[in-house]
Structure 1
Amino acid sequence: MLKVALGQFVVSRSWQDNLATTITLMQQAEAANAHLLVLPEGILARDINDPDLNSKQAQPLDGPFVNSLLNISQTMSLTTIMTIHTPALEGLTYNTLIAIHQGKIVAKYRKLHLYDAFTDKESAKVIAGDQIPPLLDIAGTKIGLMICYDLRFPELARRLVIDGADVLVLPAAWVRGPLKESHWELLLRTRALENTAYMIGVSECGVRNIGCSMVVDPLGVVVTQATEQPSLIFAEVDKKRIAYARNILPVLKNTRFNKPQLT
């Protein structure tokens, strides 16, 4: 069994405060013997009244935020996944997912699909990535990596599962709005069911974002779900459940389409 922890919180405008919250969640997940902790998207800084704060507070992967987490993680067995904004050219940033384990960055991925929707325009401040996310092996389980708006593009989830993923992990800052909580649940359950894979979605909570982090099993069943409040919840990934789902619903074998490719 792979034990996963989902830590949702309200990202503040102070990276030092967010660092302290992240360290606390890591320590709590480690104490609970979790193998994996998933945190929200863009956890360096956020201010609803200052939409440029992500760019202004961006740090490189060798900056003080990540270095502090790497130091803390050295004695932990836990792997922690999150995204932060890292500097790019001319004041722009990358929305960068990192996985850290025992003092090292063991995987990284730059967000492919930028949130130019529902009146937002992420591409005004962020440069899109151009690489398929790597797979991460945690306790013998293959993990596929995605970020927030990626959830609305079934090609990426299917590509990761064809590549070998049994679990799809999605840090997010899912913005509030009409029907947005329904979109969140519907899309997480759909990506899980159509790929017979576990889906782990962790969203920031607070005034701007919905929270409602959840784990969905390979047959689309919600295993655990957080509320709209800051919380740390746990679930187990059962490889027998994956095998069962793929046996009775062999969509990965029955598909008539080739592996999705990045344009």
Structure 2
Amino acid sequence: MSDSLRLAGAQWTATGDPRENLHRIDELTARAAERGARLVVHPEAAMASFAGRLDTVAEPLDGPFAEGVRALAQRHGVTVVVGMFTPADEVTTADGRNRSRVHNTLLVTGPGTEETTYRKIHLYDAFGTRESDTVAPGDEVRTVRVDGWDVGLATCYDVRFGDQFTRLGRSGVDLVVLPASWGDGPGKASQWDLLTRARAHDAQAWLLAVGQAWTRDSVNGPFGIGGSLLADATGEIRARLGGAEDLLVADIDRESVERTRASVPILRS
């Protein structure tokens, strides 16, 4: 079991076409693997952006998109985390029509990693938006073991709920990954920085937050602000990207997590 892990966050902008997005995931995962990353994290909604109907692009976990992600992870010899949409339930809308909802799902897969999925628990019913109209919530906090590291999973709006991250910290995770599609708006960039740093502190673990790149497109976004970052167990930012498409590659160590938890034992209470 290694006391260090090289990871990568791939910040980019998804389109509405899963096949096109799968190509980008393949391309960026290859670049990260060439730089020695063992874990490559892609944004929330990497399968398809939030601009279109999610129920028409959602696929089961044995569908072509997920199978493509599995194949590229094996080909590049790394574990990947990819945001996708899977079918969920059916609800009746206010106008009496039935509409299918999806799960906002993280797929974690790669050689030597037991495949895991996480369904976003906290839905973005805020700032005039109702994610719950089209997305069904998950109900289980999930972790996965990657190269001997215990990794917690969370998605975007989950970052506003500190209890989830404290729970992950108490379960013993060394790292939390947070794929996101963080929409732009007044104060949103500063909230992103504040919340990601606070959640790293709550979990007393490394936190890699990976968002979609910033875009001016008023039809297909903005559904990202960039600013993907890596924070340590004290909440200090160790690496950060700007707004453009880019790749964050960094090494993390387990010793700093252990040292933080020993010196500030908040998870024992």
TM beyond 0.5: yes
CA distance in 2, matches of 1:171, 1:239: 21
- How far has the Cα of 1:73 moved from its partner? 2.1
SS in 2 for 1:161: helix
SS in 1 for 2:250: strand
Number of residue-to-residue matches in the alignment: 250
- How far has the Cα of 1:187 moved from its partner? 0.6
Distance 1:59 1:88, change over 3 A: same
Show the counterpart of 1:184. 192
| Residues 1:212 and 2:216 aligned together | no
Q: Summarize the alignment of residues 152-167 of structure 1 with structure 2, pairs less than 5 Å apart.
A: 152-167=160-175
AA aligned to 1:34 is A
| Residues 1:128 and 2:137 aligned together | yes
Q: Which runs of 5+ in 2 are unaligned?
A: 91-99, 216-221
AA aligned to 1:216 is A
- How far has the Cα of 1:162 moved from its partner? 0.8
Q: Provide TM-score, normalisation by structure 1.
A: 0.91
The partner residue of 2:261 within 235, 246, 261 is: 246
Cα deviation per residue 1:29-76 (whole Å; 9 max; x = unaligned)? 11111111111001122264x4x2x22211111111111121222243
- How far has the Cα of 1:206 moved from its partner? 3.0
CA distance in 2, matches of 1:7, 1:21: 10
Q: Summarize the alignment of residues 64-213 of structure 1 with structure 2, pairs less than 5 Å apart.
A: 64-90=64-90, 91-102=100-111, 106-133=115-142, 135-207=143-215, 208=222, 209-213=224-228
Show the counterpart of 2:34. 31
More moved, 184-193 vs 242-251: 242-251
Q: Which runs of 5+ in 1 are unaligned?
A: 256-263
AA aligned to 1:29 is A
CA distance in 1, matches of 2:113, 2:251: 25
CA distance in 2, matches of 1:61, 1:96: 10
| Aligned-CA RMSD value | 1.5
- Larger strand proportion of the pair: 2
CA distance in 1, matches of 2:56, 2:123: 18
Show the counterpart of 1:63. 63
Show the counterpart of 1:15. 18
Identity of aligned residues (%): 34
